[in-house]
Amino acid sequence: MNLLEKEALIREKAEEFEQASPETVIRWAVETFPKITFACSFGAEDVVLVDMLQKISPKTDIFYLDTDFHFKETYETRDRMVERYGLKFVRVSPLLTPEAQAAEYGDELWKRDANACCNIRKVEPLTRILGQYDAWITGIRRDQAPTRANAKKVEYDVKFGLVKFNPIASWTSEDVWNYIRENNVIYNPLHDQNYPSIGCEYCTRKVMPGEDPRAGRWAGQEKTECGLHK
């Protein structure tokens, strides 16, 4: 399938999938693109998709970007999911250790240049791992941020050069939590402590009542995305 044929198919399926269930989207994705992977951050949306994948295609690769700066609760959530499902997450690490990054760029780069830190610890590793696949699945939702408002359930990811599936793009936060409760899905306990969106420990704070759900990410900076999706 050449690029033009692939783009035509994506446009057709984006319209068809708009009213489809996440499971329908996932099933078609894994059947159509054998070289597909799921990017898991262990947030609420992603643990839902892990649960769905284990029911539909348990052999599909699932990776996570280990920035070395995650909350301990995030690593504990990973370990609990490994035990529950018997799966093996693919760990993708930055080329620089935290110590090497500090030696080259100075201590606490995230305070001085959060974009540079994200590029080193997230974007470059993601680019590296996605180069091994033809398609990827993400847990982004349209109402998470203005930058995600136009996300289709299937689209061509120009930045990384592969097909991108967003099976729960049309879901609300309530939809996510209903699935978690109804299916007894493991989730990060930080969600119960006013952390609706969880990133690296140094760049994530609690969200106060009335604040936007992503206000706790890179608080005080003109930054809303780490560069993985925009």
CA dist 172 and 230 (Å) reads: 20
Q: How many CA atoms lie within 13 A of 146 on its CB side?
A: 4
Tell me the CA distances in angstroms from 54 to 51, 57, 84, 87, 140, one per residue in order: 5, 6, 11, 9, 19
CA dist 199 and 217 (Å) reads: 7
Spell out the residues 6+ positions from residue 77 whose beta carbon is closer than 8 angstroms to its own.
42, 47, 186, 187, 188, 189
Contact 201, 70 (CB under 8 A): yes
Binning the chain into helix, strand and coil, the percentages to the nearest 5 are 45, 10, 40
Take residue 160 and report the two structure tokens written for it.
């990384």
Q: Per-residue b/e over 150-182, b at no fewer than 16 CB within 10 Å?
A: ebbbbbbeeebebbbbbbbbbbeeeebeebbee
Annotated catalytic residue 118:
no
- Catalytic residues, which ones? 226
